[in-house]
Amino acid sequence: MGKFYCKSIKRGGILKNIIKKCKGCGIELQSDDKNKQGYIPTTSLKGNKSPICQRCFKLTNYGDYIPMEMTKEDYRREVQRTAKSAQVALAVFDIIDFEGSFEKEILDILREMRSIIIINKVDLIPGGKHASEVATW
């Protein structure tokens, strides 16, 4: 079975297949291995214009959260791929785990494009700290 294609389009005289992606998380759908990301039973695709992967289905219908397995290399590759088509990058960093929320390679990618840096969880900083102290840190 493999990957699923929703349609073929012609661009520049070349016919390309568009890979179906999960409506929930955007991962490429596949039916080969239910233990891999993007799995969807082939029966779930029949007449379904907005298919979702098994992971998103379980989260939506049962509240069952299945963590996404992604290595640092997978993450870096995905950021590079996505950055190629983006006009602006929104980088979200966790103030509580600042060093752990980004990699040097990701910052290198962000430096080469327009980006907006967002710091979340600032409300969890102890009360005596002023925002300027956090910015300096």
Cite the DSSP H helix spans in the chain.
Answer: 54-62, 72-85, 104-111, 131-136
| Residue recorded with tokens 């029949």 | 46
Phi, psi angles (nearest 5°) of residue 92: -105, 120
Instruction: Name the 3-class secondary structure at 121.
Output: coil
Collapsing DSSP to helix, strand or coil, 129 comes out as coil
128 Cβ neighbours under 8 A, 6+ residues apart: none
pLDDT band at 8 (very low <50, low <70, confident <90, very high): very low
pLDDT in the model for residue 54: 92
Q: Give CA–CA dist 39/61, Å, rounded.
A: 16
For 49-106, the pLDDT digits (tens) are 788 999 999 988 998 888 777 777 887 787 888 888 888 888 888 777 777 766 777 7
The pTM of the full predicted model, rounded to 2 decimals, is: 0.51
- Among 80, 68, 88, 81, which residue's Cα sits nearest to residue 105? 80
From the number of C-beta atoms within 10 Å of its C-beta (0-12, 13-18, 19+), residue 38 rates as buried
Which of the four pLDDT bands, split at 50, 70 and 90, describes residue 7?
very low
